[in-house]
Amino acid sequence: MALLSLAVPRLQLVSTLLAVLVLFLAGSGAPTPVLGASDDKVQAADGAALPTSSRGLELFRQHEGMKPRAQLSNRRLLQSIQCPDGQVQCPSGIKECFYSSGQNCNGYNDCSDGSEEDDYYCANVSTSCVFPRLKCPSHKCSTQSVINGKSGANIFWCDRTTDCFDNSDEDPAFCASYDCASQGAARCPGSIPQCMPRVSTRVAYFSGRPYPGTNGRGQTFGPIPDDVPTAMCDGVKDCEDGSDEDFERCFGPGPTRPPPIGQGVCGSGPAYFFPVRCWFNNDPMGRYVCCDDAGCDGFSAYENLVPRCKVNGYAPKNFGLPDETTTFPKETTTFPKDTPCPLVGGFASNSCFSSDGSYHVCCANPDSCAAPGANGEPRCTNDNYVFYNP
């Protein structure tokens, strides 16, 4: 027993001396000793042994103190394995391989401990993503291809479409300061932090860059400046708030917004420039717009079914309406009884006959017939007469 008692302190002394020797060699710049191959641990640059568990990379990162990549590469892995061509060992040192080109930082765990998706690894070690994917603001690789077919333009970040699995490309704080021009895009003119295409999907139609506020009669509201994206005011909503197609921004003070119910008229005049009244039958607000002879063009779903004019041919309020001193002979609105009412803007006008049926007038749709006058003459309810041109 006495001999055994004496042996224990001697063994402890030897262990202590060896530990001091290791520290001395490490401090003198000598190569860091590698642990035995049977120890399933990771060895850091200073010789510390870290377990290769699911927290292996986290422990190593904390131990390394967020060292630069150059120092990080000095880490030694125990039980390093030979990986197939194109693959590398998982960053935490576990005995698994993954494809470093395309499988790292893509939002999917290819290593059982997810170490190739670690935030620090993706931000500091993995430097690129495989084309055509991009590095997300969170340093992960995008889930979408650059040729994602978005409005014919290469827009990726801040376009209200998630391209990164963690949605970091659409984070409001990131988008508030993001430079849309860095990806060949433009910033939406509204208040939301969003990018829009610079080139219109209807660029062939607007190839001459006329301002879309033309009304078909040579009346325009100024040319599009060269620095304004062709996608602005092209009839296609690119911004979530519709600011790129804002009525006043696109058409200026010339055309009118749909007036409240019971206010405003589209005017009257010769049929070849008669403004057409376009409206939505089921609109409880009774809104309408005045369009030129090109006619109506359906409704704007993203603006609560506001009616639209073809080729943006909005006519100003009261366009063609005679002033108070102008009178038209009654004959200008009188149609022979056998002459049908013409189409105005693609819509049939309503025929209103005189009391004796000898002639009729045509009321532009949706105007309808009013009660005959004192002399039996036909009348339109809102005075939207179509003029007869024999």
Q: What is the pLDDT of residue 365?
A: 74
Q: What is the pLDDT of residue 9?
A: 53
- 118 shares a domain with 91: yes
- 198 shares a domain with 232: yes
**pLDDT for 35-86, tens place per residue?**
333 344 555 555 555 554 434 445 455 544 444 333 344 444 445 678 888 7
On whether residue 24 sits in a domain, the answer given is no
On whether residue 28 sits in a domain, the answer given is no
On whether residue 132 sits in a domain, the answer given is no
Q: What is the pLDDT of residue 197?
A: 85
On whether residue 318 sits in a domain, the answer given is no
On whether residue 137 sits in a domain, the answer given is no
pTM for the predicted model, two decimal places: 0.40
Q: What is the pLDDT of residue 268?
A: 43
Nearest of 177, 166, 158, 101 to residue 138 by alpha carbon: 166
Nearest-angstrom CA–CA distance, 26 and 312 = 78
pLDDT along the chain (390 residues), means of 10: 47 51 44 39 54 47 44 47 81 78 72 77 66 74 56 64 84 91 86 85 40 36 55 79 76 43 42 56 59 66 60 54 39 76 74 87 82 84 75
Q: Which domain holds residue 354?
A: 330-386
Number of domains in the chain: 4
Q: What is the pLDDT of residue 349?
A: 78
| DSSP H helical ranges for 192-242 | none
- 257 shares a domain with 203: no
> Please, which residues have CB within 8 angstroms of residue 87's CB and are 6 or more apart in sequence?
97, 98, 99, 100
Residue 236 corresponds to which tokens in the numbers above? 């296609």
Among 224, 244, 264, residue at a domain's last position: 244
Radius of gyration of the chain (CA): 38
Q: What is the pLDDT of residue 271?
A: 40
Q: Are 42 and 56 in contact (CB under 8 A)?
A: yes
> Please, which residues have CB within 8 angstroms of residue 77's CB and are 6 or more apart in sequence?
42, 43, 89, 93
- HSE (side-chain half, CA atoms, 13 Å) at 371: 1
Q: Are 320 and 328 in contact (CB under 8 A)?
A: no
Residue 160 corresponds to which tokens in the numbers above? 């209200």
